[in-house]
């Protein structure tokens, strides 16, 4: 399998504090890549610097499809085919469900103003947005205002508007945190369906180990801005340092029950 995304020695400094320190990893095309780690390990910062939204890395290179992207503007990175969701749910609270997904379908694919003025057709973008809504199962609510949306709907809406930009690589920042077990299973199924049907490569941050360890092909664990372990889920879950820093001793028993592949 080819490497879709390669990060080479990325660092991010806030003053003297290194939020990320020489992090290198690569994501294979068509895989699901999991990122775990304790709070403040730099997981979300990693997403932020790769998508340059809201800040680029202090040093290091991000290579996407053989092209360095760390100097691009955040919206140009979206047009290259990288979409993300946010840890803290964000919402266009004056728009309805359909329109907030249309933001993604219009502006994620029309790369500049000229295209927007001359190459726009409402039907096409509305159709794309409706398809994305259909995929996450929110079609029936398309005319409701998002200001009344539940947390589950917000997470689905973020995923839908990200899919509407037609990404090759999708970053999901805690897609299931704060949800009930039933909702977690629904999103789990959705992510697997997306991965199977539309062939999107995914990078997922999550604290819910049952979900992350089962869904990922590859897992990386961060601690204090450094990679402490990387490998297939089973090996990572058995790693001494990961258990010490993050999972905890009691995880050993839980792990057997979870039947991680």
Partner 1 sequence: MKVKKLFAPLIIICLIMFIPLLFPNPFLMHLLISIFLFGLVCESWDLSMGYLGLFNFGHLAFFAIGAYSSGMLALYYGISPWITMIVSSIITFILGLLISLVTLRASEFAFSLISFAFQSMFMHWVRSGGGPAPGEFGMGGATLTGGTQGLGAKFSIPPFQLGPIIIRAGANKIPAYYLTAIIFVIVTYAMYILVNSRFGLAAVALRDSKTYAISRGINPLTYTAIFISISTFFAGMAGSLYAHLMGVVGPEIIGWSNVVIMCCIVEFGGLGTIFGPAAASFLLISLTYYLAGLSAYKNIIIALIMLFTLLIWPTGMAGAASWFKSRYLNRKIWEKRRGGV
How crowded is residue 213: how many other Cβ atoms within 10 Å of its Cβ? 23
C-beta of 125: minimal distance to partner 1 in Å?
A: 8
- Asked if 112 and 67 touch (Cβ cutoff 8 Å), the reply is no
Is residue 19 exposed (0-12), middle (13-18) or buried (19+ Cβ within 10 Å)? buried
C-beta of 156: minimal distance to partner 1 in Å?
A: 15
Nearer to partner 1, 203 or 247 (CB): 203
C-beta of 111: minimal distance to partner 1 in Å?
A: 8
How crowded is residue 75: how many other Cβ atoms within 10 Å of its Cβ? 12
Name the site residues for partner 1 (rule: CB under 8 A).
Answer: 51, 53-54, 73-75, 78-79, 83-84, 86, 90-95, 99-100, 102-104, 106-113, 116, 120, 161-162, 165
C-beta of 182: minimal distance to partner 1 in Å?
A: 18
Between CA 25 and CA 191, with CA 29 as vertex, the angle to 5 degrees is: 100
Nearer to partner 1, 14 or 75 (CB): 75
Nearer to partner 1, 39 or 113 (CB): 113
C-beta of 170: minimal distance to partner 1 in Å?
A: 12
**Calpha distance 82→253 (Å, rounded):** 38
Nearer to partner 1, 12 or 84 (CB): 84
Smallest CA-to-CA distance from 144 within 132, 135, 153 is with 153
Map residue 170 onto helix, strand or coil. Answer: strand
Nearer to partner 1, 79 or 230 (CB): 79
């Amino acid at each position: 399998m080819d490497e879709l995304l390669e990060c080479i020695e990325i660092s991010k400094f806030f003053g003297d504090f290194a939020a990320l320190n020489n992090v290198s990893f690569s994501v294979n095309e068509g895989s699901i890549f999991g990122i775990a780690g304790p709070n403040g390990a730099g997981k979300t910062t990693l997403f932020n610097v790769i998508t340059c939204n809201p800040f680029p890395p202090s040093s290091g290179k991000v290579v996407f499809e053989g092209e360095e992207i760390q100097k691009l503007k955040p919206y140009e990175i979206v047009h290259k085919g990288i979409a993300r969701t946010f840890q803290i749910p964000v919402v266009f609270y004056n728009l309805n469900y359909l329109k907030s997904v249309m933001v993604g379908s219009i502006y994620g694919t029309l790369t500049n103003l000229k295209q927007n003025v001359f190459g726009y057709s409402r039907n096409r973008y509305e159709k794309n947005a409706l398809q994305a809504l259909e995929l996450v199962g929110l079609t029936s609510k398309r005319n409701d205002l998002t200001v009344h949306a539940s947390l589950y709907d917000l997470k689905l809406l973020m995923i839908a508007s990200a899919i509407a930009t037609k990404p090759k690589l999708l970053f999901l920042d805690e897609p299931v945190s704060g949800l009930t077990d039933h909702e977690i299973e629904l999103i789990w199924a959705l992510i697997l369906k997306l991965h199977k049907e539309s062939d999107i490569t995914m990078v997922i941050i999550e604290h819910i180990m049952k979900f992350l360890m089962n869904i990922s092909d590859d897992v990386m664990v961060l601690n204090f801005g450094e990679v402490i372990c990387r490998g297939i889920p089973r090996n990572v879950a058995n790693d001494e340092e990961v258990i010490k820093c993050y999972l905890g001793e009691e995880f050993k028993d839980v792990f057997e029950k979870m039947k991680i592949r």
